[in-house]
Amino acid sequence: MKKFLNNPENFVDEMLEGIYLAHPEVTNVANDLRCFVRTEPVKGKVGLVTGGGSGHLPLFLGYVGDNMLDGAGVGGVFQSPSSEQILEVTKYVDQGAGVLYLYGNYSGDLINFDMAGELADFDGIKTATVVGCDDVASSVVGEEHKRRGVAGIFFLYKAAGAAAAQMKSLDEVARIAEKASVRTRTIGVALSPCIVPEIGKPSFNIGEDEMEIGMGIHGENGITRKKMAAADDVVDEMMALILAEQSYETESDVAVLINGLGATPLEELYVIYRRTAQVLKQAGANIRHVFIGEFATSMEMAGASISVLKLDDELEPLIAAGANTPFFKHIKF
Amino acid sequence: MKKFLNNPENFVDEMLEGIYLAHPEVTNVANDLRCFVRTEPVKGKVGLVTGGGSGHLPLFLGYVGDNMLDGAGVGGVFQSPSSEQILEVTKYVDQGAGVLYLYGNYSGDLINFDMAGELADFDGIKTATVVGCDDVASSVVGEEHKRRGVAGIFFLYKAAGAAAAQMKSLDEVARIAEKASVRTRTIGVALSPCIVPEIGKPSFNIGEDEMEIGMGIHGENGITRKKMAAADDVVDEMMALILAEQSYETESDVAVLINGLGATPLEELYVIYRRTAQVLKQAGANIRHVFIGEFATSMEMAGASISVLKLDDELEPLIAAGANTPFFKHIKF
Amino acid sequence: MDNITKTNLPILFERFSEVFAEQKDALIALDSKVGDSDLGLTMAKGFAAATAAVSALEDASVETQLKTAGVAIARAAPSTMGTLMATGFMRGSAAVKDCEMLGTVQLADFWVAFRDGVAQRGRVQVGDKTVVDVLHPIAETMIKQAESGAALTEALHIAYASASEALEATKDLVAQHGKAAAFQEKTRGIQDAGSTVAVILIKAMADFVSEL
Amino acid sequence: MDNITKTNLPILFERFSEVFAEQKDALIALDSKVGDSDLGLTMAKGFAAATAAVSALEDASVETQLKTAGVAIARAAPSTMGTLMATGFMRGSAAVKDCEMLGTVQLADFWVAFRDGVAQRGRVQVGDKTVVDVLHPIAETMIKQAESGAALTEALHIAYASASEALEATKDLVAQHGKAAAFQEKTRGIQDAGSTVAVILIKAMADFVSEL
Ligand SMILES: Nc1ncnc2c1ncn2[C@@H]1O[C@H](COP(=O)(O)OP(=O)(O)O)[C@@H](O)[C@H]1O
Ligand SMILES: Nc1ncnc2c1ncn2[C@@H]1O[C@H](COP(=O)(O)OP(=O)(O)O)[C@@H](O)[C@H]1O
Ligand SMILES: [Mg+2]
Ligand SMILES: [Mg+2]
Ligand SMILES: [Mg+2]
Ligand SMILES: [Mg+2]
């Protein structure tokens, strides 16, 4: 296994030690490296807590910072954090205005966040929950609540983070996060598997000349596996799945996220964006904000995803707002 | 070949089209997509121009923006831009205060930048040149001028960019860039090759269980090829090469850059940083600034590099200064 | 005696620890088919932690002991089944609040709350091929046994029998939740791993009460 | 006639284009051994562009034609050798400023300036296994021939002979510059690709003058 690691069991904790050494603006609580929080919580603000498995940097902890999130429960690679870790983060992050849990729609995470919320309730902390379920490949229309949460959760963080920074109430922040969730669609394509350090070898294979459209960020089944095609054709096929669920007739402003899964060069993400922009314009969309890079990865998986958020007058300025975390910086123009 | 591209011949131009579509703050001149400049040059400021082959994003063009560079000649993948492209960029970027050429120490680039400088001179534009030659693996001490320029050039951009933004003269900006160059050392390690689109297959191989310490960003020979080892041991071996050329006795402040070559997950870069910080502290260094991520890649090569810049009172605030380009944002605290 | 008292409980948890230690490799093997192979590990860890936490208590009530076990499992085993078992014990403990001892009636309440807690937390229904497919017949059987006034030993053994049957029936189902859901049709024919844990629990409880 | 005039020059460049088109695949093959296989392509492109640019001029001086060729090559072939050849023609053109025609003396000046320009731009020395290893004997031979008053045809053929010899000698050298440098010892035994281009140039020039 060609990876920079020592004992695979220590991978996540050593990564966290590196992060804390590099970025004094984040720290951990409860004597547990995996209880990740901003060093300086903002008094009176609704706390935003996320969490999930490791192996997806900058997701999840990477969005903890100014105008974004306040804490994250850090799980093992592709494993949920424990309810206790989430609870500890919740307690530190709560500044009297309650805490919003904002994470991806996976069984393990749902169960542990719900449990943490119940325990927080015993401690008199009010919590609310919004889950990202943006992956159009993972359930049909009508069953959106069963969909996996993937890169599009970035838009939920961005919108909810900016709303919370404006000192909106827990209900308001939750409503905005939910609105961003309902309006976000993502479709991904994977070209290669990735390696979980403790397993040491790829947990599935994709043929030398194959791609899988719709594959999940842990290698979950996608929609079709087929021969690798020209970038424009791949984008067209992906965008068709998004366009089937979004129309830009009455509201045309959108934000777009082109996300690399890990090994795919940035150059290729721009080739993908070029076509995505053409397709969106053709469909009548007006691209107001663009984010291109690695936002939600699967270790060294090769592949990419496209997320589109349909903006409205409330969401647009929240997506435009500045943000500053150790892993994501956005400067408002 | 598993890549997101259409006709390989159009790869660079389509990537550029994607970049221009996404980022209105940059544009091209001379009707040539590869003549890359800031849309709004700063009146009276020394112009900073870089350039080099494509396939290294965010290097080179990614550093064109506020408090960084003003233009870049964009070559084919791993190919120099032409002297004419550099000249066109130079003409647009010059605001009467002259232009500094700042690029990596490779034959093709040297030849084309020198030629462009000569042509610019005919047009009455004053130019100066500083090259990055930070790769300790590529020549022995005493022959530093023969070394390849790799990720450490980021520090030259950062320092010279901030100095130019303070409206310093061409001589001053060149002096500062040169100082940053002399004080920067980089050592890399590669775990896998990469694919140039027009070639379509890896141009060299690294065995399943091997790494090459000191390999260049185009696959140039390194120092040793050996069995992959634990991350801490790899870092120790790499840092020994830097420590052999830097001491932190009289001046201890440093800036560190942990750079991913493309396919290596961010998680692993933090495992590398953890050990790098331990080694540097042990050696008496005081880490003032840390940059971790992808700053100079080789398409989808797996691997990483460590760069260390020895700061002084002049360089420190320049590295600390804010910067804002489409690919790199730094917020001064 | 046909009751579980607060003095018995620490010993019952020791028994749980023992059986999960014994079944560790078997559960790992089961979870490896359409999961991530951690179930044996997390159950062994979780119940060892529960046992340690319960035995560290001094003269605690039935409710406190069950709740403490739940909290300990949650902490030690943050996997899906770890948190679900933790939820089950915590909800079960609340259902037997103030009970001095657990007979058929009280354990019927306990298992109903356990099942409901897990189903609610997991957002699953009977037939989704999860642990709830075994918890459900356990709870329903216990209610019936309580209504008919059965003794605890008998009631638990009947519950165990219905659980075993339900476990066998999970083979015919297709997983809808958790990591297994990604394998879809491939899960047919395979016995659900989490359901196996529930059978282990009810069997250990029945055996324990038989020996009281 | 034993001179190249401004009327001849466009035809000379056509000849250059033809030979580089012919030699394209051979140069690609050579550059593929320890390089990136582009040399045949870039030289064919560069000289085709030079020819087009030169023939588009109207009644231009020798100097202007040579300079125009250089600029055209730079634009069309931004590779190492492209820019170096461009530099050579531009520097050479400056060396024959105001000359009405090119005889042995003028072409000696031209090749000296060509060599010096390439060596300076490339920051190389003789023996570094680059095109300069062939440009150097060409320049030196032309100087000697000019001193001894040789006619142009004869001078160029002697220069071509010395160039061929020097090309053969590049096999014994180890590359110090450009992409080949990374191959180090592996470059020994292989004829330098850029040097081959210089031989092609001087041969084409000698042949052209013979036929005048
Ligand atoms: N949402 C759910 N609700 C109830 N039980 C579930 C749910 N998802 C999975 N399970 C049960 O959990 C078992 C797997 O447990 P475990 O190995 O801990 O999961 P994971 O490794 O995915 O965290 C499954 O066999 C199933 O019985
Ligand atoms: N610095 C240099 N100065 C002079 N000639 C050089 C230099 N580097 C390489 N060369 C010559 O260039 C030839 C390769 O040319 P070319 O294929 O255009 O290079 P590249 O493909 O690397 O841009 C070499 O065979 C050598 O003769
Ligand atoms: Mg990458
Ligand atoms: Mg499991
Ligand atoms: Mg698990
Ligand atoms: Mg070449």
The CATH class that applies to domain A8-182 reads alpha beta
Among candidate residues A23, A145, A218, A289, the one labeled active-site is A218
Ligand 2 binding pocket (C-beta < 6 A) is B 107-108; D 31, 35-36, 38-39, 42, 79-81, 84, 118, 122-124, 130-132, 177-180, 192-195
pLDDT of res. A333:
61
Tell me which of B258 and D37 has the higher pLDDT: B258
| Contact by Cβ (8 Å): B123, B225 | no
Q: Hey, CA dihedral for C97, C101, C105, C106, is it positive or negative? A: positive
Is C81's C-beta closer than 6 angstroms to any atom of ligand 1? yes
Per-position pLDDT tens, chain A of length 333: 789 999 999 999 999 999 999 999 999 999 999 999 999 999 999 999 999 999 999 999 999 999 999 999 999 999 899 999 999 999 999 999 999 999 999 989 999 999 999 889 989 999 999 999 999 999 899 999 989 999 999 999 999 999 999 999 999 999 999 999 999 999 999 999 998 888 788 878 899 899 999 999 988 888 999 999 999 999 999 999 999 999 999 999 999 999 999 999 999 999 999 999 999 999 999 999 999 999 999 999 999 999 999 999 999 999 999 999 999 999 986
Other Cβ atoms within 10 Å of D4 Cβ, number: 25
Q: What is the ipTM of this complex?
A: 0.89
| Chain D and chain C touch, per 3+ beta carbon pairs within 8 A | no
Q: Say how many Å lie between the CA of residue C80 and the centre of ligand 1.
A: 5
Q: Is D62 left (phi over 0), alpha (psi -120 to 50) or beta?
A: alpha
Nearest to B174 by CA among B101, B115, B263, B227: B101
Given pLDDT bands bounded at 50, 70 and 90, which one contains residue C177?
A: confident
Q: Which of A31, A32, A35, A107 to mutate to test the interface with C (most CBs of C within 10 A)?
A: A107
**Cβ distance of D121 and B114 shorter than 8 Å:** yes
Contacts of A80 in chain C (CB under 8 A): 78-80, 83
- Per-residue pLDDT of B105-160, as tens digits, reads 998 999 999 999 989 998 999 999 999 999 999 989 999 999 999 999 999 999 99
Q: A263–B266: do the CB atoms touch at under 8 Å? A: no
Strands A71-77 and A99-104: unpaired
Active site residue B289: no
Average pLDDT over residues B299-327: 97
B330 is catalytic: no
Give the residue, by CA position, lying nearest to ligand 1 atom 20. C80
pLDDT tens figures, C92-144: 999 999 999 999 999 999 999 999 999 999 999 999 999 999 999 999 999 99
pLDDT at C182: 75
Q: What confidence score (pLDDT) does residue B156 get?
A: 98
- Ligand 5 (single-atom ion) residues, CB below 5 Å: C 36, 38, 79
- Tell me, yes or no, whether chains D and A touch by having 3 or more C-beta pairs under 8 A: no
Of B273, B277, B302, the CB nearest to A300: B302
| Residue A72, min C-alpha distance to chain B (Å) | 16
* Ligand 4 mean position, distance from CA A133 (Å): 22
The two domains B8-182 and B184-312 share their CATH topology (first three levels equal): no
CATH number of B184-312: 3.30.1180.20
Does residue C36 have its Cβ closer than 6 Å to ligand 1?
yes
pLDDT of residue D38: 84
Q: How far is CA A326 from its chain centroid? A: 16
What would the pLDDT profile of B35-54 be if each residue is shown by its tens digit? 999 999 999 999 999 999 99
> Are B107 and D86 in contact (CB < 8 Å)?
no
Mean pLDDT score of chain B, rounded to an integer? 96
Confidence (pLDDT) at D170: 97
> Which of these is catalytic: B23, B145, B218, B330?
B218
Q: How far is C162 from chain A (nearest CA, A)?
A: 27
**What pTM does this model have?**
0.92
* Domains delineated in chain D: 4-211 (1.25.40.340)
Q: Is C87 in the pocket of ligand 1 (CB under 6 A)?
A: no
Give the span between the Cα atoms of D89 and A159, in whole angstroms: 60
CB–CB contact A18 B324 (8 Å): no
CA–CA distance, B251 with B248 (Å, rounded to integer): 5
User: How many cross-chain Cβ pairs, A to B, lie less than 8 Å apart?
Assistant: 166
> Measured from the CB, is residue C132 less than 6 Å from ligand 1?
yes
Name the residue among D80, D86, D183 with its Cβ closest to that of B108.
D80
Q: From start to end of chain D, where are the E strands?
A: 4-5, 101-102
Touching chains, B (3+ CB pairs < 8 A): A, D
How do the domains of chain A map onto residue ranges?
8-182, 184-312
Which two structure tokens, joined as six digits, stand for C35?
A: 């999961």
* Tally of CA atoms within 13 A in the half-sphere of D19 that contains its CB: 18
**Residue D172 clears pLDDT 60, i.e. is over it:** yes
What is the spatial distance between Cα B17 and Cα B202, in angstroms, rounded to a whole number? 26
pLDDT in tens, B147-195: 999 999 999 999 999 999 999 999 999 999 999 999 999 999 999 999 8
> Can you give the pLDDT at residue D34?
85
* Average model confidence (pLDDT) across chain C: 95
User: What would the two tokens of residue C73 be?
Assistant: 């499992």
pLDDT tens-digit map of A39-51: 999 999 999 999 9
The pLDDT of residue A17 is: 98
Q: Do B54 and A267 touch (CB under 8 A)?
A: yes
Mean pLDDT of D69-82: 91
Q: Distance from the CA of C26 to the center of ligand 1, in angstroms?
A: 16
- Ligand 1 lined by C33 (C-beta under 6 Å): no
Rounded to an integer, what distance in angstroms lies between the CA atom of residue B18 and that of residue A287? 13
Identify the active-site residue in A56, A145, A289, A330: A56
